[in-house]
């Protein structure tokens, strides 16, 4: 760095003593050299920081330590799923007709069988009126023929014709009323009107969605689990369900585990049922299911960031002392177990009385002098 700065100064002095070039050219070149110097100084400072030069003192490298403890350790399987509802119904009509009335609004709670939309029924209503008139006459004729037939007056065929005509008109009237009833689109479930897809005056066509009704009081989460975990998830297992969008966590049991592996994506389905009386969850909401597949009540656990990968496995650095009693760093080979949420289980190599180097552990070398401080960044 000193050589570079000296070179810049000499170059500047040379330019000042050189009378062949214009002053403007000299000033331009000087600015470029100063810029180059500043860039070099910045790079050198950055490298010094990255190499931890500032963390070394006469007493040794600055580090923090933490005692090794035994604690309860759990490892979870994280499964991504979606919230669904068994009662998420697309309401359609099986007859065509003009929408005459919308009796509900989006977001309104409705009951099973409640009329939601009324279609035009003018033609059917007129047909019912005509059938009522014809039925009234047919009933009179039938009753007269019946009285005569009961008195053995008249022919049997006349009585049977009157009876058949009367019953046929009854059947036609019932059919017309049923047809009229179909112009009243009703809710198939108790729930909430989630969406209305028609307006008054529009034509509702058979098969086309008129509106959607959902019941979100009882929901389920459906997810596909990789076949690697087929022995880790069982019906009745407790699960933690997190909803990232709501910053909400629920606990529930696994209600269903599929028995067939999907050959396309090598997964099997699982379901978890949830009560949603407070209506806080919505259909198609993203959910993260966490199921415990391993736990150890007395595990030695250390933060994963302090476990270093080496050629022959893994190691941590312990806070130790040398032959003179001075604090030193000692590399300790360890056997790791499972890792979860930034914590790693240590199966072999550590005991509860050990003290590991925390901050600064990736800068020390085996046998290097250290100085333990409480707060170090």
Query: Do 203 and 140 belong to one domain?
Result: yes
Helix H, strand E, coil C: the string for the chain is CHHHHHHHHHHHHHHHHCCCCCHHHHHHHHHHHHHHHHHHHHHHHHHHHHCCHHHEECCEEEECEEECCEEEEEEEEEEEEEEECCCEEEEECCCCEEEEEECCCCCCEECCCCEEEEECCHHHHHHHHHHHHHHHHHHHHHHHHHHHHHCCCCCHHHHHHHHHHHHHHHHHHHHHHHHHHCCEEECCCCEEEEEECCCCCCEECCCCEEEEEECCCEEEEEEEEEHHHCCCCCCCCEEEEEECCCCEEEEEECCEECCCCECCCCEEEEEEEEECCCCCCCCCCEEEEEEEEEEEEEEEEEEHHHCEEECCEEEEEEEEECCCCCEEEEEEEEEEEEEECCEEEEEECCCCCCEEECCCCCCCCCCCEEEECCCCC
2-57: per-residue pLDDT in tens? 444 445 455 555 545 554 457 778 778 888 887 887 777 666 556 556 545 556 76
| R_g (Cα) of the chain, nearest Å | 42
Query: Do 95 and 231 belong to one domain?
Result: no
Query: Do 150 and 168 belong to one domain?
Result: yes
Query: Do 116 and 182 belong to one domain?
Result: yes
CB 15 within 8 A of CB 26: yes
- CATH at 286: 2.40.30.170
> Does the residue 190 lie in any domain?
yes
Query: Do 313 and 224 belong to one domain?
Result: no
> Does the residue 377 lie in any domain?
no
Domain stops at, among 159, 182, 214: 214
Query: Do 83 and 219 belong to one domain?
Result: yes
- CATH at 326: 2.40.420.20
Domain stops at, among 257, 272, 293: 293
> Does the residue 253 lie in any domain?
yes
170-179: per-residue pLDDT in tens? 999 999 888 8
Query: Do 96 and 204 belong to one domain?
Result: yes
> Does the residue 98 lie in any domain?
yes
Domain stops at, among 214, 237, 264: 214
Query: Do 231 and 82 belong to one domain?
Result: yes
Q: Which domain range does residue 37 map to?
A: 2-50
Query: Do 94 and 208 belong to one domain?
Result: yes
335-359: per-residue pLDDT in tens? 999 999 999 999 999 999 899 999 9
Query: Do 132 and 61 belong to one domain?
Result: no
82-115: per-residue pLDDT in tens? 998 888 889 999 888 999 999 999 889 899 999 9
286 pairs with which residues across the strands?
Answer: 82
> Does the residue 99 lie in any domain?
yes
Structural domains counted in the chain: 4
Distance CA 230, CA 227 (A): 5
CA neighbours within 13 Å on the CB side: how many for 124? 19
Query: Do 189 and 156 belong to one domain?
Result: yes
- Please say whether the dihedral angle defined by the alpha carbons of residues 254, 256, 258 and 262, taken in this order, is positive or negative: negative
Q: What is the pLDDT of residue 1?
A: 42
313-338: per-residue pLDDT in tens? 999 999 999 888 899 999 999 999 99
Distance CA 160, CA 156 (A): 6
Query: Do 198 and 129 belong to one domain?
Result: yes
> Does the residue 227 lie in any domain?
yes
142-200: per-residue pLDDT in tens? 888 888 888 888 788 888 888 899 899 999 999 988 888 889 999 999 988 989 999 99
- CATH at 192: 2.40.50.100
């Amino acid at each position: 760095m000193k050589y570079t700065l000296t070179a810049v100064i000499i170059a500047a002095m040379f330019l000042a003593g050189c009378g062949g070039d214009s002053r403007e050219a000299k000033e331009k070149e000087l600015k470029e050299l100063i810029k180059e110097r500043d860039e070099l100084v910045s790079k050198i400072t950055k490298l010094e920081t990255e190499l931890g030069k500032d963390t070394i003192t006469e007493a040794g490298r600055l580090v923090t330590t933490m005692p090794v403890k035994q604690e309860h350790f759990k490892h979870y399987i994280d499964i991504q799923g979606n919230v669904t509802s068994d009662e998420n119904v697309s309401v359609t009509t099986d007859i065509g007709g003009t929408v005459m009335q919308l009796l509900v609004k989006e977001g309104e709670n409705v009951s099973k069988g409640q009329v939601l939309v009324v279609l035009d029924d003018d033609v059917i209503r007129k047909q019912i009126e005509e059938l009522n008139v014809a039925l009234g006459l047919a009933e009179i004729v039938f009753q007269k023929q019946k009285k005569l037939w009961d008195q053995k007056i008249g022919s049997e065929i006349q009585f049977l014709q009157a009876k058949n005509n009367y019953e046929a008109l009854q059947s036609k009237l019932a059919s017309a009323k049923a047809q009229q009833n179909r112009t009243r689109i009703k809710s198939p479930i108790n729930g909430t009107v989630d969406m209305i897809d028609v307006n008054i005056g529009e034509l509702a066509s058979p098969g086309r969605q008129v509106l959607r009704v959902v019941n979100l009081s009882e929901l389920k989460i459906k997810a596909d689990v990789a076949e690697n975990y087929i022995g880790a998830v069982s019906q009745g297992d407790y699960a933690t369900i997190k909803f990232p969008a709501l910053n909400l966590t629920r606990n529930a049991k696994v209600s269903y585990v599929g028995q067939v592996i999907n050959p396309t994506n090598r997964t099997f389905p699982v379901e978890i049922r949830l009560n949603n009386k407070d209506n806080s969850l919505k259909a198609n909401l993203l959910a993260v299911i966490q199921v415990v597949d391993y736990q150890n009540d007395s595990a030695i656990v250390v933060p994963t960031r302090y476990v270093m990968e080496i050629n022959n496995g893994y190691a941590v650095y312990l806070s130790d002392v040398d032959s003179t009693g001075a604090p030193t760093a000692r590399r300790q080979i360890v056997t790791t177990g499972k890792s979860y949420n930034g914590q790693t289980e240590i199966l072999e190599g550590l005991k509860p009385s050990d003290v590991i180097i925390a901050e600064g552990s990736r800068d020390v070398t085996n046998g290097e002098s250290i100085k333990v401080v409480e707060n170090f960044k």
